Amino acid sequence: MASSPPVAAGVGDLSSHVSAPVLTRPYQTCDGSRAHTFKVAGSPAVLAKFIVVRILLACQQSAHRYAIPAYSFWRTYFVEGLREAGHEVVEVPNADWARGLLALPSEEHARWLEEIWSSTLASVRSSPVDLFLAYLYPQQISPAAISEIRRHGIPAVNFFCDNVREYRHLPAAFAPFDLHWVPEYDALPLYARRGWKTVFAPMPCWVPPARRQMPAGELPQVCFIGRRDELRAQLLSDAFLQGAAVTIYGAGWTNPTPADTASPPPTWRARWRDWSEFCRRQGLAAAWRRLSHRSAPKIAFDFTSHVHPSPPDETYADLLARSSVALGINRYAPAHRPGQPPPAYSRLRDMEAPMLGACYLTEWAPELPHLYELGREIETFSNGAELAEKSAALLGDASRRRALRCAGQRRALADHTVAASLTRIAASLGVSITST
Protein backbone atom coordinates (compact mmCIF):
# COMPACT_ATOMS: atom_id res chain seq x y z
CA MET A 1 0.00 0.00 0.00
CA ALA A 2 1.33 3.39 -0.94
CA SER A 3 2.19 5.85 1.76
CA SER A 4 2.90 9.54 1.69
CA PRO A 5 6.45 10.80 1.57
CA PRO A 6 7.70 12.58 4.70
CA VAL A 7 6.83 16.22 5.08
CA ALA A 8 9.43 18.40 3.42
CA ALA A 9 12.20 19.48 5.75
CA GLY A 10 11.65 23.11 4.91
CA VAL A 11 8.09 23.28 6.26
CA GLY A 12 9.32 24.87 9.47
CA ASP A 13 10.80 27.70 7.43
CA LEU A 14 7.31 29.19 7.14
CA SER A 15 7.42 30.17 10.80
CA SER A 16 10.28 32.57 10.13
CA HIS A 17 7.94 34.99 8.36
CA VAL A 18 6.67 38.01 10.22
CA SER A 19 3.09 37.60 11.37
CA ALA A 20 0.64 40.03 9.80
CA PRO A 21 -2.37 41.38 11.67
CA VAL A 22 -5.74 39.95 10.79
CA LEU A 23 -7.63 41.82 8.11
CA THR A 24 -11.01 42.99 9.35
CA ARG A 25 -13.79 44.87 7.63
CA PRO A 26 -17.09 46.22 8.94
CA TYR A 27 -20.22 44.85 7.32
CA GLN A 28 -23.91 45.53 7.78
CA THR A 29 -25.20 43.40 10.65
CA CYS A 30 -28.59 42.02 11.61
CA ASP A 31 -29.78 45.11 13.45
CA GLY A 32 -28.67 47.43 10.63
CA SER A 33 -25.75 48.89 12.57
CA ARG A 34 -22.05 48.67 11.75
CA ALA A 35 -21.00 48.06 15.31
CA HIS A 36 -19.80 44.53 14.71
CA THR A 37 -16.89 43.33 12.60
CA PHE A 38 -16.74 40.06 10.71
CA LYS A 39 -13.25 38.57 10.77
CA VAL A 40 -12.24 37.97 7.18
CA ALA A 41 -9.21 36.00 8.34
CA GLY A 42 -9.74 34.06 11.54
CA SER A 43 -9.59 30.59 13.04
CA PRO A 44 -12.79 28.91 14.25
CA ALA A 45 -12.12 29.65 17.92
CA VAL A 46 -9.85 32.67 18.07
CA LEU A 47 -8.79 35.73 16.13
CA ALA A 48 -5.43 34.58 14.76
CA LYS A 49 -2.36 36.28 13.40
CA PHE A 50 -1.57 34.97 9.95
CA ILE A 51 1.93 34.28 8.75
CA VAL A 52 2.50 36.12 5.49
CA VAL A 53 3.18 33.31 3.07
CA ARG A 54 4.36 33.42 -0.54
CA ILE A 55 2.23 30.79 -2.30
CA LEU A 56 2.73 29.26 -5.73
CA LEU A 57 -0.79 28.50 -6.97
CA ALA A 58 -1.87 26.01 -9.65
CA CYS A 59 -5.69 25.84 -9.77
CA GLN A 60 -6.86 25.32 -13.35
CA GLN A 61 -5.73 28.78 -14.53
CA SER A 62 -6.02 29.33 -18.27
CA ALA A 63 -6.44 32.21 -20.70
CA HIS A 64 -8.63 29.93 -22.84
CA ARG A 65 -12.27 28.89 -22.48
CA TYR A 66 -12.53 25.18 -23.16
CA ALA A 67 -15.73 23.17 -23.66
CA ILE A 68 -15.50 21.50 -20.26
CA PRO A 69 -17.33 22.22 -16.98
CA ALA A 70 -16.66 25.69 -15.57
CA TYR A 71 -13.22 26.13 -14.05
CA SER A 72 -12.18 29.81 -14.27
CA PHE A 73 -13.93 30.79 -11.02
CA TRP A 74 -11.53 28.64 -8.99
CA ARG A 75 -8.69 31.07 -9.68
CA THR A 76 -10.78 34.00 -8.45
CA TYR A 77 -11.73 32.22 -5.23
CA PHE A 78 -8.20 31.04 -4.43
CA VAL A 79 -6.36 34.22 -5.42
CA GLU A 80 -8.73 36.75 -3.87
CA GLY A 81 -9.21 34.69 -0.73
CA LEU A 82 -5.46 34.38 -0.17
CA ARG A 83 -4.73 38.02 -0.98
CA GLU A 84 -7.47 39.23 1.33
CA ALA A 85 -5.75 37.32 4.13
CA GLY A 86 -2.54 39.20 3.40
CA HIS A 87 -0.65 36.48 1.57
CA GLU A 88 1.32 36.80 -1.66
CA VAL A 89 0.17 34.69 -4.61
CA VAL A 90 2.60 33.60 -7.33
CA GLU A 91 1.42 32.06 -10.61
CA VAL A 92 3.40 30.42 -13.39
CA PRO A 93 3.44 32.93 -16.27
CA ASN A 94 1.11 32.01 -19.16
CA ALA A 95 0.36 28.61 -17.63
CA ASP A 96 -2.56 26.77 -19.23
CA TRP A 97 -3.41 24.30 -16.47
CA ALA A 98 -6.96 23.68 -17.72
CA ARG A 99 -5.63 22.23 -20.97
CA GLY A 100 -4.59 19.17 -18.97
CA LEU A 101 -8.29 18.38 -18.41
CA LEU A 102 -8.92 17.91 -22.13
CA ALA A 103 -8.99 14.50 -23.78
CA LEU A 104 -5.74 15.11 -25.65
CA PRO A 105 -3.96 12.42 -27.67
CA SER A 106 -1.38 10.72 -25.49
CA GLU A 107 1.64 12.32 -27.18
CA GLU A 108 0.11 15.79 -27.00
CA HIS A 109 -0.80 15.30 -23.35
CA ALA A 110 2.74 14.15 -22.55
CA ARG A 111 4.12 17.25 -24.29
CA TRP A 112 1.74 19.50 -22.30
CA LEU A 113 2.76 17.81 -19.05
CA GLU A 114 6.46 18.28 -19.77
CA GLU A 115 6.08 21.92 -20.78
CA ILE A 116 3.91 23.08 -17.90
CA TRP A 117 5.90 21.36 -15.18
CA SER A 118 9.20 22.57 -16.67
CA SER A 119 7.79 26.12 -16.46
CA THR A 120 6.62 25.49 -12.90
CA LEU A 121 10.03 24.25 -11.76
CA ALA A 122 11.72 27.17 -13.50
CA SER A 123 9.43 29.52 -11.58
CA VAL A 124 10.35 27.84 -8.29
CA ARG A 125 14.06 28.14 -9.01
CA SER A 126 13.91 31.79 -10.06
CA SER A 127 11.44 33.02 -7.45
CA PRO A 128 11.41 30.94 -4.24
CA VAL A 129 8.08 30.40 -2.50
CA ASP A 130 6.95 29.04 0.86
CA LEU A 131 4.09 26.79 -0.22
CA PHE A 132 2.85 25.05 -3.37
CA LEU A 133 -0.96 24.97 -3.33
CA ALA A 134 -2.74 23.14 -6.15
CA TYR A 135 -6.11 22.01 -7.38
CA LEU A 136 -5.10 19.34 -9.86
CA TYR A 137 -6.60 16.14 -11.25
CA PRO A 138 -4.41 13.02 -11.47
CA GLN A 139 -3.76 13.43 -15.20
CA GLN A 140 -2.37 16.92 -14.55
CA ILE A 141 0.16 15.82 -11.94
CA SER A 142 3.85 15.06 -12.44
CA PRO A 143 5.00 13.12 -9.36
CA ALA A 144 8.64 13.78 -10.26
CA ALA A 145 8.03 17.54 -10.43
CA ILE A 146 6.18 17.54 -7.09
CA SER A 147 9.09 15.66 -5.52
CA GLU A 148 11.49 18.24 -6.98
CA ILE A 149 9.45 21.09 -5.49
CA ARG A 150 9.59 19.37 -2.10
CA ARG A 151 13.34 18.92 -2.40
CA HIS A 152 13.51 22.73 -2.45
CA GLY A 153 11.99 22.68 1.05
CA ILE A 154 8.55 23.71 -0.21
CA PRO A 155 5.56 21.77 1.15
CA ALA A 156 3.03 20.71 -1.49
CA VAL A 157 -0.72 20.67 -0.82
CA ASN A 158 -3.44 19.51 -3.21
CA PHE A 159 -7.12 20.39 -2.98
CA PHE A 160 -9.51 17.96 -4.65
CA CYS A 161 -13.30 17.97 -4.43
CA ASP A 162 -14.53 15.04 -6.56
CA ASN A 163 -13.18 12.18 -4.46
CA VAL A 164 -16.38 10.32 -3.55
CA ARG A 165 -17.96 10.86 -6.95
CA GLU A 166 -14.88 9.80 -8.93
CA TYR A 167 -13.02 7.11 -6.98
CA ARG A 168 -13.27 3.93 -4.98
CA HIS A 169 -9.47 3.86 -4.71
CA LEU A 170 -7.51 7.08 -4.93
CA PRO A 171 -4.99 7.34 -7.78
CA ALA A 172 -1.30 6.96 -7.06
CA ALA A 173 -0.63 10.33 -8.72
CA PHE A 174 -1.81 12.02 -5.50
CA ALA A 175 0.90 10.31 -3.43
CA PRO A 176 3.74 12.91 -3.64
CA PHE A 177 1.82 15.68 -1.86
CA ASP A 178 2.61 16.45 1.75
CA LEU A 179 -1.01 17.20 2.56
CA HIS A 180 -4.42 16.78 0.95
CA TRP A 181 -7.16 19.40 1.40
CA VAL A 182 -10.33 17.28 1.45
CA PRO A 183 -13.79 18.93 1.57
CA GLU A 184 -15.80 15.66 1.54
CA TYR A 185 -16.20 14.00 4.92
CA ASP A 186 -16.84 10.56 3.40
CA ALA A 187 -13.61 10.82 1.39
CA LEU A 188 -11.39 10.95 4.48
CA PRO A 189 -11.35 7.12 4.85
CA LEU A 190 -10.15 6.83 1.24
CA TYR A 191 -7.07 8.87 2.12
CA ALA A 192 -6.62 7.08 5.45
CA ARG A 193 -6.47 3.74 3.65
CA ARG A 194 -3.64 5.14 1.54
CA GLY A 195 -1.86 6.50 4.60
CA TRP A 196 -1.97 10.04 3.20
CA LYS A 197 -2.20 13.05 5.46
CA THR A 198 -5.37 15.14 5.15
CA VAL A 199 -6.97 18.32 6.40
CA PHE A 200 -10.76 18.52 6.33
CA ALA A 201 -11.84 21.98 5.22
CA PRO A 202 -14.68 23.33 3.06
CA MET A 203 -14.37 24.14 -0.61
CA PRO A 204 -12.53 27.42 -1.22
CA CYS A 205 -14.96 30.28 -1.69
CA TRP A 206 -14.67 34.06 -1.82
CA VAL A 207 -17.27 36.75 -2.37
CA PRO A 208 -16.41 40.44 -2.92
CA PRO A 209 -16.73 42.60 0.21
CA ALA A 210 -19.43 44.68 -1.49
CA ARG A 211 -21.55 41.50 -1.70
CA ARG A 212 -21.39 40.85 2.04
CA GLN A 213 -24.09 43.38 2.93
CA MET A 214 -27.46 42.17 4.14
CA PRO A 215 -29.86 42.53 1.17
CA ALA A 216 -32.03 45.64 1.36
CA GLY A 217 -35.17 43.78 0.28
CA GLU A 218 -36.32 40.28 -0.53
CA LEU A 219 -37.62 38.63 -3.68
CA PRO A 220 -40.60 36.59 -2.40
CA GLN A 221 -39.55 33.19 -3.73
CA VAL A 222 -37.72 29.96 -3.01
CA CYS A 223 -34.93 30.01 -5.58
CA PHE A 224 -32.85 27.20 -7.07
CA ILE A 225 -30.13 28.05 -9.60
CA GLY A 226 -28.73 25.18 -11.64
CA ARG A 227 -29.12 23.13 -14.77
CA ARG A 228 -31.24 20.00 -14.82
CA ASP A 229 -30.04 16.52 -14.06
CA GLU A 230 -32.33 13.59 -13.29
CA LEU A 231 -31.56 13.47 -9.57
CA ARG A 232 -32.40 17.16 -9.21
CA ALA A 233 -35.52 16.65 -11.33
CA GLN A 234 -36.66 13.76 -9.13
CA LEU A 235 -36.18 15.77 -5.95
CA LEU A 236 -37.92 18.90 -7.21
CA SER A 237 -40.79 16.99 -8.81
CA ASP A 238 -41.34 15.23 -5.47
CA ALA A 239 -41.29 18.62 -3.73
CA PHE A 240 -43.75 20.15 -6.20
CA LEU A 241 -46.13 17.22 -5.70
CA GLN A 242 -45.95 17.96 -1.96
CA GLY A 243 -47.01 21.56 -2.57
CA ALA A 244 -43.61 23.28 -2.77
CA ALA A 245 -43.27 26.55 -4.64
CA VAL A 246 -39.76 26.73 -6.13
CA THR A 247 -38.57 29.08 -8.85
CA ILE A 248 -35.89 27.40 -10.98
CA TYR A 249 -33.22 29.30 -12.92
CA GLY A 250 -31.21 27.11 -15.28
CA ALA A 251 -30.90 25.17 -18.51
CA GLY A 252 -32.38 21.85 -19.54
CA TRP A 253 -35.56 21.93 -17.46
CA THR A 254 -37.88 22.28 -20.46
CA ASN A 255 -36.75 21.75 -24.06
CA PRO A 256 -33.08 21.07 -24.81
CA THR A 257 -31.10 24.27 -25.19
CA PRO A 258 -29.00 24.94 -28.31
CA ALA A 259 -25.90 24.23 -26.23
CA ASP A 260 -27.35 20.82 -25.39
CA THR A 261 -27.91 19.91 -29.05
CA ALA A 262 -24.94 21.59 -30.72
CA SER A 263 -22.31 18.99 -29.81
CA PRO A 264 -22.15 15.84 -31.93
CA PRO A 265 -22.78 12.56 -30.07
CA PRO A 266 -19.62 10.86 -28.79
CA THR A 267 -18.06 8.16 -30.91
CA TRP A 268 -18.19 4.54 -29.80
CA ARG A 269 -14.46 4.69 -29.13
CA ALA A 270 -14.98 7.70 -26.85
CA ARG A 271 -17.86 5.92 -25.10
CA TRP A 272 -15.67 2.85 -24.55
CA ARG A 273 -12.83 4.98 -23.10
CA ASP A 274 -15.31 6.70 -20.78
CA TRP A 275 -16.76 3.43 -19.49
CA SER A 276 -13.37 1.76 -19.14
CA GLU A 277 -12.05 4.68 -17.11
CA PHE A 278 -15.19 4.73 -14.96
CA CYS A 279 -14.93 0.99 -14.25
CA ARG A 280 -11.30 1.42 -13.27
CA ARG A 281 -12.16 4.22 -10.82
CA GLN A 282 -15.42 2.94 -9.35
CA GLY A 283 -15.64 -0.79 -10.10
CA LEU A 284 -18.10 -2.95 -12.05
CA ALA A 285 -20.93 -2.67 -9.51
CA ALA A 286 -20.95 1.14 -9.72
CA ALA A 287 -20.75 0.93 -13.52
CA TRP A 288 -23.84 -1.31 -13.57
CA ARG A 289 -25.70 1.14 -11.29
CA ARG A 290 -24.67 3.98 -13.59
CA LEU A 291 -26.00 2.12 -16.62
CA SER A 292 -29.26 1.35 -14.78
CA HIS A 293 -29.59 5.00 -13.79
CA ARG A 294 -29.06 6.20 -17.38
CA SER A 295 -31.55 3.71 -18.79
CA ALA A 296 -34.24 4.58 -16.21
CA PRO A 297 -37.25 6.52 -17.51
CA LYS A 298 -36.80 10.30 -17.45
CA ILE A 299 -38.81 12.28 -14.93
CA ALA A 300 -42.09 13.15 -16.64
CA PHE A 301 -42.97 16.18 -14.51
CA ASP A 302 -43.55 19.37 -16.54
CA PHE A 303 -41.37 22.10 -15.00
CA THR A 304 -42.19 24.71 -17.64
CA SER A 305 -44.23 27.07 -15.44
CA HIS A 306 -41.54 27.08 -12.74
CA VAL A 307 -38.47 27.77 -14.91
CA HIS A 308 -36.57 30.92 -15.89
CA PRO A 309 -33.35 31.21 -17.94
CA SER A 310 -29.99 30.96 -16.20
CA PRO A 311 -29.12 34.32 -14.64
CA PRO A 312 -26.17 36.23 -16.10
CA ASP A 313 -23.06 36.40 -13.95
CA GLU A 314 -23.71 40.00 -12.91
CA THR A 315 -27.11 39.17 -11.34
CA TYR A 316 -26.40 35.66 -10.01
CA ALA A 317 -25.20 36.72 -6.54
CA ASP A 318 -28.00 39.26 -6.09
CA LEU A 319 -30.62 36.66 -7.00
CA LEU A 320 -29.16 34.16 -4.55
CA ALA A 321 -28.92 36.68 -1.70
CA ARG A 322 -32.24 38.49 -2.17
CA SER A 323 -34.53 35.49 -2.66
CA SER A 324 -36.55 34.80 0.48
CA VAL A 325 -35.05 31.30 0.52
CA ALA A 326 -32.03 30.10 -1.49
CA LEU A 327 -31.99 26.38 -2.19
CA GLY A 328 -29.04 23.98 -2.39
CA ILE A 329 -29.10 20.42 -3.80
CA ASN A 330 -26.16 18.17 -2.91
CA ARG A 331 -27.02 14.70 -4.23
CA TYR A 332 -24.90 13.03 -6.86
CA ALA A 333 -25.01 10.05 -9.23
CA PRO A 334 -24.46 7.24 -9.95
CA ALA A 335 -23.14 5.20 -7.04
CA HIS A 336 -26.27 4.80 -4.95
CA ARG A 337 -28.15 1.54 -4.54
CA PRO A 338 -31.71 1.30 -5.80
CA GLY A 339 -34.25 1.94 -3.08
CA GLN A 340 -31.88 4.04 -0.97
CA PRO A 341 -31.56 7.82 -0.91
CA PRO A 342 -28.86 9.10 -3.25
CA PRO A 343 -25.60 10.06 -1.54
CA ALA A 344 -24.70 13.71 -1.09
CA TYR A 345 -21.72 15.86 -0.27
CA SER A 346 -21.47 19.55 0.56
CA ARG A 347 -21.04 21.75 -2.51
CA LEU A 348 -19.56 25.17 -3.10
CA ARG A 349 -22.95 26.86 -2.71
CA ASP A 350 -23.02 25.73 0.93
CA MET A 351 -20.30 28.31 1.51
CA GLU A 352 -21.22 30.84 -1.15
CA ALA A 353 -24.89 31.40 -0.25
CA PRO A 354 -24.32 32.04 3.47
CA MET A 355 -21.38 34.35 2.68
CA LEU A 356 -23.74 36.40 0.52
CA GLY A 357 -26.22 36.66 3.40
CA ALA A 358 -28.80 34.29 1.93
CA CYS A 359 -31.45 32.51 3.95
CA TYR A 360 -30.16 29.09 3.01
CA LEU A 361 -32.01 25.77 2.84
CA THR A 362 -29.83 22.96 1.52
CA GLU A 363 -29.87 19.20 1.16
CA TRP A 364 -28.34 17.45 4.17
CA ALA A 365 -24.81 16.14 3.61
CA PRO A 366 -22.38 14.58 6.11
CA GLU A 367 -20.09 17.63 6.09
CA LEU A 368 -22.77 20.12 7.14
CA PRO A 369 -22.96 19.31 10.90
CA HIS A 370 -19.19 19.95 11.01
CA LEU A 371 -19.54 23.31 9.25
CA TYR A 372 -22.72 24.88 10.65
CA GLU A 373 -25.13 24.72 13.55
CA LEU A 374 -28.05 23.24 11.66
CA GLY A 375 -31.36 24.96 12.29
CA ARG A 376 -29.69 28.12 13.56
CA GLU A 377 -27.16 29.08 10.86
CA ILE A 378 -28.56 27.17 7.90
CA GLU A 379 -31.53 24.85 7.46
CA THR A 380 -31.49 21.42 5.80
CA PHE A 381 -33.84 18.90 4.21
CA SER A 382 -33.44 15.24 3.26
CA ASN A 383 -36.22 14.65 0.70
CA GLY A 384 -38.88 16.38 -1.34
CA ALA A 385 -41.46 16.35 1.45
CA GLU A 386 -39.06 18.04 3.89
CA LEU A 387 -38.07 20.56 1.22
CA ALA A 388 -41.72 21.50 0.73
CA GLU A 389 -42.44 21.67 4.46
CA LYS A 390 -39.38 23.67 5.50
CA SER A 391 -39.42 26.08 2.58
CA ALA A 392 -43.09 26.89 3.29
CA ALA A 393 -42.31 27.44 6.98
CA LEU A 394 -39.45 29.80 6.12
CA LEU A 395 -41.56 31.74 3.63
CA GLY A 396 -44.02 32.39 6.45
CA ASP A 397 -41.48 33.47 9.07
CA ALA A 398 -39.60 36.68 8.20
CA SER A 399 -37.86 36.92 11.59
CA ARG A 400 -36.43 33.41 11.27
CA ARG A 401 -35.24 34.12 7.75
CA ARG A 402 -33.44 37.20 9.05
CA ALA A 403 -31.86 35.21 11.89
CA LEU A 404 -30.62 32.51 9.49
CA ARG A 405 -29.17 35.13 7.15
CA CYS A 406 -27.20 36.81 9.92
CA ALA A 407 -26.01 33.70 11.75
CA GLY A 408 -25.11 31.84 8.56
CA GLN A 409 -23.15 34.74 7.13
CA ARG A 410 -21.30 35.38 10.35
CA ARG A 411 -20.26 31.72 10.59
CA ALA A 412 -19.23 31.42 6.95
CA LEU A 413 -17.13 34.59 6.94
CA ALA A 414 -15.45 33.68 10.23
CA ASP A 415 -14.75 29.97 9.76
CA HIS A 416 -15.09 28.97 6.10
CA THR A 417 -12.92 31.44 4.20
CA VAL A 418 -9.82 30.45 2.25
CA ALA A 419 -7.81 32.15 5.00
CA ALA A 420 -9.39 29.96 7.68
CA SER A 421 -8.64 26.85 5.64
CA LEU A 422 -5.03 27.99 5.21
CA THR A 423 -4.79 28.26 9.00
CA ARG A 424 -5.82 24.61 9.26
CA ILE A 425 -3.33 23.68 6.53
CA ALA A 426 -0.53 25.48 8.35
CA ALA A 427 -1.37 23.70 11.60
CA SER A 428 -1.37 20.32 9.82
CA LEU A 429 2.05 21.12 8.39
CA GLY A 430 3.38 21.94 11.85
CA VAL A 431 3.39 25.72 11.55
CA SER A 432 2.34 27.51 14.72
CA ILE A 433 -0.21 30.31 14.52
CA THR A 434 0.08 32.92 17.26
CA SER A 435 -3.23 33.96 18.80
CA THR A 436 -3.93 37.51 19.86
pLDDT of residue 38: 32
26-55 tens-digit pLDDT? 334 454 433 233 333 333 333 344 466 899
Q: Which of 29-38, 62-71, 314-323 has the lowest mean pLDDT?
A: 29-38
Please state the rounded mean pLDDT for residues 115-133: 96
Q: Which of 5-19, 83-97, 196-210, 401-415 has the lowest mean pLDDT?
A: 5-19
Q: How far apart are CA 267 and CA 134, in angstroms?
A: 33
What are the angstrom distances between the C-alpha of 139 and each of 69, 142, 277, 315?
16, 8, 12, 35
pLDDT of residue 50: 45
Query: Residue 135, CB half-sphere, CA atoms under 13 Å: how many?
Result: 20
340-382 tens-digit pLDDT? 789 999 999 999 999 999 999 999 999 999 999 999 999 999 9
Q: Percentage of residues in the chain with pLDDT exceeding 90?
A: 70
Confidence class of residue 84 from pLDDT cuts 50, 70 and 90?
very high
Other CB atoms closer than 10 Å to residue 243's CB: what's the count?
Answer: 11
Q: DSSP letters of 26-90?
A: E---TTS----EEESS--SSS-BPEEP-EEEEESS--SS--SSS--HHHHHHHHHHHHHTT-EEE
Confidence class of residue 421 from pLDDT cuts 50, 70 and 90?
very high
Tell whether pTM > 0.85.
Answer: no
pLDDT of residue 5: 37
Of 73 and 23, the structure prediction assigns the larger pLDDT to 73
Domain covering 214-413 in this structure, CATH number: 3.40.50.2000
168-218 tens-digit pLDDT? 899 999 999 999 999 999 999 999 999 999 999 999 999 999 999 998 899
pLDDT of residue 299: 82
pLDDT of residue 272: 54
Of 30 and 167, the structure prediction assigns the larger pLDDT to 167
Instruction: Considering the chain, tell me which residue range(s) the CATH 3.40.50.2300 domain(s) occupy.
Output: 9-206+419-428
pLDDT, averaged across the chain: 83
Of 317 and 4, the structure prediction assigns the larger pLDDT to 317
Domain covering 9-206+419-428 in this structure, CATH number: 3.40.50.2300
Question: Using alpha carbons only, what angle is made at residue 131 by residues 126 and 137, rounded to the nearest 5 degrees?
Answer: 100
Burial code (b: 16+ CB inside 10 Å, e: under 16) for 19-53 equals: eeebeeeebbbeeeeeeeebbbbbbeeeebbbbeb
pLDDT of residue 412: 98
| Helical spans, DSSP H, in 263-339 | 268-282, 284-295, 313-322
Confidence class of residue 333 from pLDDT cuts 50, 70 and 90?
confident
Instruction: Considering the chain, tell me which residue range(s) the CATH 3.40.50.2000 domain(s) occupy.
Output: 214-413
pLDDT of residue 300: 82
pLDDT of residue 340: 75
DSSP-assigned letter for residue 178: S
